[in-house]
Structure 1
Amino acid sequence: MARYHIETYGCTSNRGESREIERRLRDAGHYRVDGADEADVAILNTCTVVEKTERNMLRRAEELSEETADLFITGCMALAQGEEFRAADVDGQVLHWDEVPEAVTNGECPTTTPDAEPILDGVVGILPIARGCMSDCSYCITKQATGKIDSPPIEENVEKARALIHAGAKEIRITGQDTGVYGWDEGDRKLHRLLSEICEIEGDFRVRVGMANPKGVHGIREELAEVFAENEELYDFLHAPVQSGSNDVLGDMRRQHQVDEYVEVVETFDDALDYWTLSTDFIVGFPTETDRDHAQSMALLRETRPEKINVTRFSKRPGTDAAEMKGLGGTVKKERSKEMSEAKREIVREAYADMVGEVREDCLVVEQGTADSVKCRDSAYRQVIVQNASEYGLEPGDFVDLEVTAHETMYAFGEPV
């Protein structure tokens, strides 16, 4: 688990985004400390109202980068003028606020506490389906807190999902350290069966499957892809963190999969689904990563072209085997991270650009956005923002057909049709 320090500047919207970042970090088992010098990571949520504010943000970013191991910069100035931080040679990653929680985790699994129960947050229901995982990654400290996978029966999870839907949930988020190994402790891979039964619950809702490591998915990839294809309640979205394009590095990480297994998962979903979102993670600068290894990761990124990508610079976690390895220099990690992040932006921007002019049917309004806007998700869990939402009478929980009219790097804009 990571100790984090967060600073927020600017408007109510920024403060709301910081609260959401913190909520997700707490859900993942991380905890807040006062002061960047005590933290593993620092988060700077920036404002860009006037030139003086911009100078203050740059200065504070420089200070924080010197006080902590990793700095993540988000907010208005980061997104509108990210090049200013790069020009000032600030040693930090510029991210959309929605990417910050996963970047902070350093590729680790989320942590589910022993007493984790479903919660309803607005129209979003959070459903932890199991605790623990089957992995023993050399860089991950989460395993020390969670242990091996412990999978409740399908019937128990279905009843929890039904209760969330009856309570008003329109989106069920399936969570766990590794959803793909649900049932492994009983010798029965059954994520696909659980999803199929949840989709049979009466009501209008959507289901998003949380992180599933490639090894767990690989063994049930055809069954899982078939369930996705047959059930419109499921977002056609898969988060399968590959972490590296090099089998040598994956071995040193003690990841259970190899690159070809990840590619086979992607190909299976490509065959089954016409329109879907692949999400993956890369850890850049693992201690044993060579230039050749990094090149292989870049090649895999461009080959599979995931539409959502989390790029994290490796940092040591106390008590893990990887913490004992001789690390790469900060400059090397920074350069590799920059190269991959630039490729990421190109790929994701292209994916959203391809949506412009299309009509996405039955998008779910998930939550309020900034000012008079709402955030919607289409069938592949891609984010579409509707501005002037009150003019259309849109509220969280509504389903709406949207014509995509424009895009930014990480999301699109749409209007009801």
Structure 2
Amino acid sequence: MARYHMETYGCTSNRGESREIERRLRDAGHYRVDGAEEADVAILNTCTVVEKTERNMLRRAEELAEETADLFITGCMALAQGEEFAKADVDGRILHWDEVPEAVTNGECPTTTPDAEPVLDGVVGILPIARGCMSDCSYCITKHATGKIDSPSIEENVEKARALIHAGAKEIRITGQDTGVYGWDEGERKLHRLLDRICDIEGDFRVRVGMANPKGVHGIREELAAVFAENEELYDFLHAPVQSGSDDVLGDMRRQHQVQEYLEVVDAFDEALDYWTLSTDFIVGFPTETDHDHEQSMALLRETRPEKLNVTRFSKRPGTDAADMKGLGGTIKKERSKEMSAEKREIVGEAYADMVGERREDCLVVEDGTADSVKCRDSAYRQIIVRNASDHGIEPGDFVDLEITAHETMYAFGKPRS
């Protein structure tokens, strides 16, 4: 698993978020080391109280980016002034704190414990629908801990979802190592059937589907896209990690899909939905990735233009087949990551810029932000920040109609429509 180094600055809230990040990382088998130079990833939880603090955060981010393979930046400055890190050419990824544990996984499946049960966090309900996956990726150590897919029945998962909604959940997050293969152990992929049943539960709520590998989705792509189109409770959002635009590299990774299958999944959702968010992942610098392979990944990124993208530099995991491969140099991985991350910022920033001046109905207020702001999600799970929330009388759990007034690279700003 990954070796991580974490630094936390600022208030008690930041320290609490860092403790939760570390708890999730430890639960997934990752372990902390002292010093970024010994780590696979560094995590910087930032503060933004005064200008001097901001300068210190930028300087420390620059130092950490030089000392470690991957840098993740979270906390107040990252979320409120993320563009400052880009202007300073800091080679790091800006993430909300609860996105950090998944991002550390090096493209691996998220891990849940054998007895994982639903959790209510504010107005967000976390619903693990299964454990394990059907993949055997050469770089992934998670499979050693989770095994093959083990799917509880649709009825059992529906009852767990109903309990979360009755307990006050307004957003249900469907999670699992690979949600797309739910039911495969019983001879039938049935994610679409489960989602349809959850959406029939009485109440006013939204459902976000977690990571689903392209191969699992491909066989039910039309049925799944139709369920999204028919149910307004579902965020029109799909996280399908392609990992590479090269079939040769995908073969070496032992990913079960090819690029064309990923494209067919995207096409199916494009045909069924007018407005939706494609989320995907790329691993750059896999040991067998050539310059041509990287260019194929860049071309696929430009073709499909995902509105949410995770870019991870490959790092070796002990006990995996990829760990025995001769790796690429750190400079090559950094250069490729930097190129892809720059393209990502352009694509994602353009998607949010296009929202300005438009209206979004029934946005869900998901959680409090900083400085009297709240974070909302529209129908495609795009993030919209509303400032001065108390003046508008809105809080987590409310549904609001918003007018989009401005944007940053990774989110938009909105104000309630009167």
Could you say which TM-score interval applies, normalised by the shorter chain? over 0.9
Displaced runs of 4+ in structure 1, greater than 2 A? 1-5, 10-40, 45-103
Alpha-carbon shift at residue 138 of structure 1 (Å): 0.6
2:83/2:408 contact within 8 Å kept: no
Query: CA, structure 1 residues 62+304, in 2 after alignment: closer, same or farther (shift >3 Å)?
Result: closer
Task: State the distance in 1 between where 2:94 and 2:170 align.
Answer: 32
**TM-score w.r.t. length of structure 1:** 0.92
Query: CA, structure 1 residues 62+22, in 2 after alignment: closer, same or farther (shift >3 Å)?
Result: same
Query: CA, structure 1 residues 210+312, in 2 after alignment: closer, same or farther (shift >3 Å)?
Result: same
Match of residue 331 from structure 1: 331
1:99/1:310 contact within 8 Å kept: no
Task: State the distance in 2 between where 1:410 and 1:119 align.
Answer: 27
Query: What is the CA deviation profile of residues 26-71 of structure 1, one whole-angstrom value per residue up to 9, with x for unaligned ones?
Result: 5655444555465432211234555654564455446545654433
- Match of 1:112, SS state, is coil
Alpha-carbon shift at residue 85 of structure 1 (Å): 6.6
Query: What is the CA deviation profile of residues 191-241 of structure 1, one whole-angstrom value per residue up to 9, with x for unaligned ones?
Result: 000000011111111110000000000000000001000001110000000
Alpha-carbon shift at residue 351 of structure 1 (Å): 0.6
- Match of 2:89, SS state, is coil
Query: CA, structure 1 residues 399+319, in 2 after alignment: closer, same or farther (shift >3 Å)?
Result: same
1:102/1:310 contact within 8 Å kept: no
1:110/1:176 contact within 8 Å kept: yes
Match of residue 247 from structure 2: 247
Task: State the distance in 1 between where 2:84 and 2:353 align.
Answer: 25
Alpha-carbon shift at residue 103 of structure 1 (Å): 2.7
Deviates more, 1:216-225 or 1:102-111: 102-111
Task: State the distance in 2 between where 1:59 and 1:412 align.
Answer: 27
Query: CA, structure 1 residues 58+357, in 2 after alignment: closer, same or farther (shift >3 Å)?
Result: closer
**RMSD (Å) for aligned C-alpha atoms:** 2.4
1:122/1:367 contact within 8 Å kept: yes
Query: CA, structure 1 residues 353+17, in 2 after alignment: closer, same or farther (shift >3 Å)?
Result: farther
Alpha-carbon shift at residue 410 of structure 1 (Å): 0.6
Task: State the distance in 1 between where 2:93 and 2:319 align.
Answer: 25
Alpha-carbon shift at residue 254 of structure 1 (Å): 0.3
Query: What is the CA deviation profile of residues 302-335 of structure 1, one whole-angstrom value per residue up to 9, with x for unaligned ones?
Result: 1011100000111111111111111111111111
2:118/2:125 contact within 8 Å kept: yes
* Length, aligned pairs only: 416
1:294/1:336 contact within 8 Å kept: yes
Match of residue 258 from structure 1: 258
Task: State the distance in 2 between where 1:233 and 1:60 align.
Answer: 42
2:91/2:338 contact within 8 Å kept: no
Task: State the distance in 2 between where 1:357 and 1:83 align.
Answer: 21
1:29/1:112 contact within 8 Å kept: no
Query: What is the CA deviation profile of residues 174-206 of structure 1, one whole-angstrom value per residue up to 9, with x for unaligned ones?
Result: 000000000111111100000000111111111
1:71/1:91 contact within 8 Å kept: yes
1:46/1:73 contact within 8 Å kept: yes
1:180/1:216 contact within 8 Å kept: yes
Query: CA, structure 1 residues 99+248, in 2 after alignment: closer, same or farther (shift >3 Å)?
Result: same
Alpha-carbon shift at residue 357 of structure 1 (Å): 1.1
Alpha-carbon shift at residue 6 of structure 1 (Å): 1.4
1:13/1:370 contact within 8 Å kept: no
Task: State the distance in 2 between where 1:209 and 1:355 align.
Answer: 23
Task: State the distance in 1 between where 2:289 and 2:141 align.
Answer: 20
Task: State the distance in 1 between where 2:83 and 2:360 align.
Answer: 33
Query: CA, structure 1 residues 12+346, in 2 after alignment: closer, same or farther (shift >3 Å)?
Result: farther
Deviates more, 1:318-327 or 1:60-69: 60-69
1:352/1:412 contact within 8 Å kept: yes
1:205/1:233 contact within 8 Å kept: yes
Alpha-carbon shift at residue 277 of structure 1 (Å): 0.5
Deviates more, 1:66-75 or 1:204-213: 66-75
